[in-house]
Structure 1
């Protein structure tokens, strides 16, 4: 644990403040529950050694909860939750922009944490903490505004109303659109996780760069169809509920692929 925290301090420079959080409690648990449904027997056995009998959903929101820590120990991990990139017209330009990002971010940390968990030399407690972060960050990667624009902090500065309540575009996608459906996380996971084996395989194909580009493209669609100071209600849900649910499902299935590969 002490070694893990020391590494955080050494590798992470002073970061600018960013308001972006991540999928709310329900969204992250939906992603984790779907992932758990697609774990291999081998992955389940290895996970049991790391977190015992606890479900992935239990730890899915821990990296957000620790933002309330007043000691500052975890403050430097805030930037892990996003990678902001200006709109790019194609994958090549997006990938190039992704590679030149400075400092740890959503892209680099998913890769780093995966390697830490995979490395047999990683201490047991460090592996557990890395797993908690990985569960969460893969969920973040499927929330389009976590691959949004730096100029508005991933939609945090885009003010909107949802059913008359003041909010912002990022929060609308993190929590409000999901919570509007009124499902528990287990209900939602069960309703969304209905793809065939062939469809699951297709969703899980590609690389992390491909998956982030997918989220980036969806972020661009969201920006294009959401007005600053716009007032939305049932119309916004009608327009975007399918995309929101797609992203929850894709996040869960892709998290399962990563865990099956590294465990």
Structure 2
């Protein structure tokens, strides 16, 4: 019996070091985006969202598409969370690709969900599903490695050490950089949510294609900074990228608010 117990403990400890599959910003990051977005919604938009989600806030709704990944009935949503674009492309090449994109990916689905939610006659069950998905996927595409490369699964196969613990590049950006700041989602949103009217207007004028191009460029730099297998990332990496991290979270929230106001306002 003691031997079996030891084996179980060893197995559980080992599982803690297995990099988990992509969850976009992770629970905390998505809630930060949602909390920031909520601060810029019009009264009309807030009423419309309440009619759909009830007392479920934008921040709390943002995690639903990750939480249901354990339900096989929603397996068809897997590709909605990201868009794979090969490295080394010029901005014009990326935009040309997006203009002809018919794949099932984050880019096409943001456009699809936006158009569907503008339909006032849409079935209420679908409104709930589509709104939760839109809130989440807008956050997804602001995590740079959700616009990563297919051959390494958006950085999931790029093994690194995060403070000497085995991890991968995608997980570092999904959760570990955000969690390293040691703030709740409300504290984090409060700490970075400083914008001007002009800034919000400029960010909300950007198209979904602009968001993708922006994340792609950041992802290229993130990839380029990994020079060797199991590269050690720690305090210096946080110092190097925390401003980019905060900027992407803030932009995600401001742009999500703009999109929701366009749909419901």
Q: Please, what TM-score do these two structures have when normalized by structure 1?
A: 0.89
Q: Deviations over 1:191-218 (max 9, x none)?
A: 1111111122222222100111000001
Matched residue, 2:260:
259
| Paired residue secondary structure (1:157) | coil
Runs of 4 or more above 6 Å deviation: none
- RMSD over aligned CA atoms reads 1.4
How do 1:87-106 residues align onto structure 2 when only pairs under 5 Å count? 87-106=87-106
Matched residue, 2:237:
236
Matched residue, 2:204:
204
Shift of 1:113: 0.9
Q: Is the 8 A contact 2:101 2:108 kept in 1?
A: no
| Paired residue secondary structure (2:122) | coil
Q: Is the 8 A contact 1:192 1:245 kept in 2?
A: yes
Q: Is the 8 A contact 1:61 1:136 kept in 2?
A: yes
Uncovered stretches (5+) of structure 2, i.e. residues with no partner: 1-19
Q: Distance in 2 between matches of 1:122 and 1:138?
A: 21
Aligned residues: 244
Q: Distance in 2 between matches of 1:154 and 1:104?
A: 16
Shift of 1:19: 4.2
Q: Distance in 2 between matches of 1:211 and 1:101?
A: 15
| Paired residue secondary structure (1:204) | helix
Matched residue, 1:182:
182
Q: Is the 8 A contact 1:82 1:106 kept in 2?
A: yes
| CA 1:102–1:157: 2 relative to 1, 3 Å | farther
Q: Distance in 2 between matches of 1:39 and 1:88?
A: 37
Q: Deviations over 1:88-121 (max 9, x none)?
A: 4432200122244453100011111111111112
Matched residue, 2:107:
107
Q: Does 1:245 align with 2:250?
A: no
Q: Is the 8 A contact 2:204 2:259 kept in 1?
A: no
Q: Distance in 2 between matches of 1:172 and 1:98?
A: 27
Q: Does 1:219 align with 2:219?
A: yes
If you compute each CA radius of gyration, which structure gives the higher value, 1 or 2? 2
Q: Deviations over 1:152-203 (max 9, x none)?
A: 1100000000111100000000000000000000000011111111122222
Shift of 1:226: 2.2
Matched residue, 2:132:
132
Q: Distance in 2 between matches of 1:23 and 1:96?
A: 27
Matched residue, 1:55:
57
Q: Distance in 2 between matches of 1:22 and 1:120?
A: 30
Q: Does 1:118 align with 2:118?
A: yes
Q: Distance in 1 between matches of 2:29 and 2:60?
A: 13
Matched residue, 1:6:
none
Q: Does 1:21 align with 2:23?
A: yes
Q: Please, what TM-score do these two structures have when normalized by structure 2?
A: 0.89
Q: Is the 8 A contact 2:25 2:139 kept in 1?
A: yes
